[in-house]
Every structure is written in C-alpha cells, then in structure tokens.
Structure 1
Amino acid sequence: MTFIDNQLREFKFWIEDSIIRGGAKGKESMIRSSHLINLIHDAVKQGFIDAGVNPENIYPHFGNTKPELKMAGFLKQKDQDVCIVPSNIKKVPTIINWGPLAFECKTDEYGYDYSTNSLVVNIRSQMSSLAKNSDTLFERTFAEAQNLHMRYPHIVLGEVYLIPVHEYDDDLVKCKVVAFKQRQTNLEKYISFFNSINRRADDGEDYAYERCALLIVDFNRSQPYLFRNSAELKQAGYISQNFGIEYATLNFQNFVSDILQIYSNRYDIRNLQK
C-alpha cells in the first residue's frame, strides 16, 4: 500500500467516525478542523521527500501545520499550504510597493528571488455540494494562481484537489448513518476544468498552474480507491467512453515527479535537495 493509500484510508476512517458519533454536525466539525486535509498535505510532502527534496526545506515540515509561509502576490499576502524553499538564496525583506498592497505599508519578508525560486503547492478538497460549489471553486482556483504569477511570472505552482466519486448522503448522515448518494459527481466537468489550467507554460496564462493533480477517489470501498487514468474511470462507468481528455495528465501518482521536472527546467534543482 502506498503512502497516499494509507492517508486516504485514514481520511475515510475519520470522516465516517465523525458521522457515526456526531451526525451532520460531527462531519462538519471534522472537515472544519483541517484534520482531514492535513492528511493530504502530508501525502504531498512525503512524495517530495521520497523524490529527494530536503525535508527541512518543506514548510510546514512533514507532520506539522505551522509555520505556513505568507507569500506576497500582486493582490494580497497569503499563507501557502506547502512551500519548498531554496537553500542557497537569501531572504531579502522588501517593502511592498506594487499593487493595492503598496498603500498598506507592508513588508515581504522573503523578497523576489527567494520567492520566485520556491515551489508552492495549494491543497484542497470538496466532499459535499460539488455541483453547487463548482463555479466558486473554479473562480477561487483561478485567482490563487493569478495572484502569485502576476508578481512572479516564473514561479512553479501546483494545485492538488480531492473530490469523491459519490458524496456522502446528507439525509442519512443526519441520522448518524454512513451512506453515499446514488448520484455521482460530474467528473467530466472537474477533469475538464483542471485540464484547462494544467501545464502552464513559462510565460502567460497567469491563472494556470504548472501542474494540477485532481484526486478522484471512490470512498465507497473498505480501502478508498484513487483512480489513475481515464481507462479506469471508463471501465467503472464514471466517465463516458468518448470523453477525450486523458485523466492521467492530472493524476496524483505522477504529480511530484512532473512538477519537480518543471522546476528543474527553470531553476537549479539543487536549491531544494538534501
């Protein structure tokens, strides 16, 4: 079993335990606690560590939730979920004199070179109301990349997003029963969106990411199943046979190796290594 498989099993255990113990309120509390998404944070961090990245360069460190690095983009400063920082570039605190932040007398404690040589990954999940919240998700995901790319045109950004094939059944969850909705998530819509913002070139398309990973997970199994490619999704009947986008370009399994290759094409990979 891979590390991500283990983390997804933990994810399933804790969300379902919260349902059995506390129903809808328990589930909501568990999701808001960040315990679940931190399991995915650590899966991403472990992937980088296994690929030779120095654990000391990863913030927050594996197993920790603090400190997050607050990077100064064009529109705002924001804590980033996972940052891999360069060892051989010094921080140069800089007064922010660009964009709307210029009028707030704030300081970027890292400076341009340190920030642009960092590798940044945002990590999110959406376990319910996927159809209702998709437009908000898409707009927010666009904005996060654009905020940093407008300030650092060559920074390497990643996005990791987890969605279930079937959501938990809200009506039965209220009764402290673990069950899933029959209606499945519109996976083709999510694959199409993340494909449209994946594999950003070195210039332009500030709204896009250097590499996106869309984790499509079937939690209605004793061991949650993380899909790898379109063939698996078609065989399961979750996307149509004529759906033309290859999901493997968004899979989690190759995320770390792909984004590190992109980084090495732009910067000295030794910045991040042991």
Structure 2
Amino acid sequence: MKVLLTGANGQLGHCFKDIFPSDWQLLATDSLQLDITDGLAVNNFIALHRPDAIVNAAAYTAVDKAQDEYELAYKVNAIGPKNLAIAAKKYHAKLVHVSTDYVFDGTKSFPYLENDLTNPINVYGETKRVGELSVLDNYSSAIVIRTSWVFSEYGNNFVKTMLKLSQTRPELTIIDDQLGCPTYAVDIAKTILKMLMNNIQGGIYHYCGDKYVSWFQFASKIFATANELNLMTNQNIMIKPILTSAYPTKAKRPLYSVLNMEKVKQLGMKASDWNKALMYVIPRIHLE
C-alpha cells in the first residue's frame, strides 16, 4: 500500500514513520513539500503520486496562539483537510483525518460519544471542527479520528514540558479541574494502520488513553515514573493543584473532554495504555 502522510515532522507523524510497515510505500511530507492549504498543489501531488491512502496528521495546534492567528489556524485545520478530502475522493484514495477532543465544550460529566453535539470554546477547537465537517461533507468514506492530550518522545508536549520545568523550578502549580485522557502518539499511529489494513467504514471515531486524569494527576504520574526510572534530576520538586480559574489563558479549555471509545473497541482496537507508554517515552525525551 502506498500512503501519503502529511504533517510528517509532528509528534504523530514521527511515530507513524517509526512503525510504518516495511513492505508498504510511504510518502512523508511536511508543509514545505506539500502545502495542504493550496488546493491545486494538493490535487497535483495526489494526481502524480496516486497514493492508496492519505493520513492527515498536519494541524495548527498552538491553542492559545490560535486566538490571535485565526486565519492561519483556519487554513491549516479547515481548508487543508477539505483539499485533501476532495482530492482523495477524486483519485479514489482512503483518507484518515486526525481531529481533537477540543471540538467539545467540556460541560458533560460522562465520556463524549462520536455523535454528541459539538460546541468548541476556542479557535483551535472551532477550526478543527470545521475541518471535520469539511472532510466528511466532501468525502463520506473518510475516517475522522478524534484523540486527546497527545504525547510522545518527539516535539513539544506536556510530558516534555513537565520534565523540563522540573529541572529549574522548586515548585509547580498544575491545573487539577480539567479532565482528559492522555494518549501516546504511537498508539494512535497503530490504530490508523489497523483501520487502513481492515478497510474500516468511514465516519467519526474516538481514540484515546485508557484512564482519564487531571493535568495535575498526569504531572504526578510523570514525575513518579521519572523517579522510578532514576531520571528525576530534582527529587524535591513540589507540585500543587490549582483551579482553571486561578490560571487564566488566552484560550478557554474544556473542563471535561473524556472520549468514549466503545466504537473503536468493537472493531478490536485497544485504548492507549499511557502509564506503560510513559516508561518508554521518558528515557527517550531529549531536554535541550
């Protein structure tokens, strides 16, 4: 199978490349090699290479920055996926588009289903929701995977940020009233590959970690794991829980964004065991 990967230099892109089947052909692209916001460029690239499948891991993910860069976020998160969907349908390629838990407003108190009402409360979530709709409106056979709190040994993420801050600060205050499911990017990549192999029906699917926690609880587990691996440079760091209201940010975040995974579990997919993943990821994170 020939697969076109966009966003190849992001967390998910890196992990997808790491586990990509050796007997498949991968066209890994970043924004310089393929600008997904340029419809003509997308059409010409796909017409030339004729991939059997397209995995869109490209996204504008700077949640706070997006509040000031709406146009750029919209182009990458909404226009880009639309362009890929149009071309994928035209040239008969499967399409997997990666979305986010931030399409929900977080007012629910039990896990979100795929068909629950979306109501994003920030620009990032809004543009990602438009991207979902654009994909499915233009190509009903496309797959949209919503995931959450992604981390890996690559790029910038919460795990790396916590480890880095712990080296220079005696105390950290971490939000304790936002709940979500940490998800290891390799597990997302594995799920995408399984979906391509099994020719899964188009639509929206939720995929995330197996246990929900707050950011404070996630940070606590990160430090406990680093200690267990003897990789914690600051053994005496103090972490304190705070409320979202005590830590205002430019973009609002949903307080509850736990995703229901029953739909993919029925297809034989297993949730991301993020506790186990931390044991693998933490020794491989390079702190500049």
TM-score per shorter chain, which class? Answer: 0.3 to 0.5
Q: TM-score, normalised by structure 2?
A: 0.37
